[in-house]
Amino acid sequence: MNDTYLYGEMFSENILTSYRIYGDRKSLLTPLIILHGGPSGGFDYLLNYRRLADDGRMVIFYDQYGCGRSTHFPHADASFWTIARYLRQLTQLIHHLGIGHGYSILGHSWGGMLAAEHACLQPAGLRGTILASSPASIALWQQEAIRLFNALTPMSNDDIKNVIMPAVIYQNPPEQLVAYYARHVYTLAEEAVHVQRSNAQFAADPTGYHILWGTNELAANGKLADWDITPHLCQIRCPVLVLRGENDQATERVVSPLLSHISDCRAVTIPGSSHNPHEENIAPCLAAVSAFLRDLA
């Protein structure tokens, strides 16, 4: 059975959650929930991970609120956009699907931040967590992003502040920012159709991204600017895989707190890729995730 129907469920708070299931709902393999990045674009750009369902494992993709095909709130003020609300949506989906007794999570970028927050709560059914291209600290992320940017195109702090930080990537961004994205965010010359869908969704309504993160990947100056989960990582009890690309903006320094503070943690770096190894070097990326999932009890 390969169920790929697109569902929509109204859990609470007038939020319609759109989700899609690949694989067999009756499989004895632990289900995997995919948390997309952003926020704002939906899950489509991560659809290469649907191949993890080839052995029958149920793989669940869903759009977070304000993203993709789920309910959007373009006029909601900043107080509406909270990690707690995103975590409630995730928990509601888990309960709705009846998998609270056993599941794993893969979170990419911002989705990895949510996955880490969820793991810190020590839910009884969480078997394992994959943190893909995700930070432990936004301040550390931004320090490294600016370092990587200057290594490509050195600019004064004033120029970075006044020219780069306010730039929106989908609105005629400066060429220096485009070069940074091409090196450290998405290295392929052409985008797959499913990636284009997520990017179009993002461009149509970037509200959540701009409020929580900022105007672009370097400008992490939104509500999450002070986010740092490092002191809480010791609370994570499940096995963790830290996955990143060789030229990822999630550098070794960015992910180092995850490796040093989580007791059961392993790391894999995907060669020839940046922030989207699931697109840029698919085979070793999927192999690393598959091996981790097989090792889980």
**What is the 8-class DSSP label of residue 225?**
G
Token output for 212: 């929580």
Q: Which of 40, 104, 109, 198 is catalytic?
A: 109
Under a CB-based contact definition with an 8 Å cutoff, are residues 116 and 131 in contact?
A: yes
- The SS3 assignment for 203 reads helix
Q: Which of 63, 134, 248, 273 is catalytic?
A: 248
- Between helix 110-120 and helix 83-97 the angle, nearest 10°, is 70
CA distance 265 to 237: 10
Neighbouring-strand partners of residue 228: 137
- Tell me the CA distances in angstroms from 69 to 8, 9, 32, 166, 176, one per residue in order: 9, 11, 20, 27, 32
Q: Which of 36, 118, 275, 278 is catalytic?
A: 275
CA distance 187 to 243: 17
**What is the 8-class DSSP label of residue 172?**
-
- Give the containing element (helix H, strand E) for 244: strand 240-245
| Residue 24 among the catalytic residues | no
- Tell me the CA distances in angstroms from 54 to 20, 47, 133, 238, one per residue in order: 15, 13, 24, 24
| Residue 248 among the catalytic residues | yes
- The SS3 assignment for 95 reads helix
The owner of tokens 């986010």 is 227
Under a CB-based contact definition with an 8 Å cutoff, are residues 129 and 243 in contact?
A: no
CA distance 137 to 140: 5
11 CB neighbour count, 10 Å cutoff: 16
30 CB neighbour count, 10 Å cutoff: 19
The residues annotated with a catalytic role in the active site are: 109, 248, 275
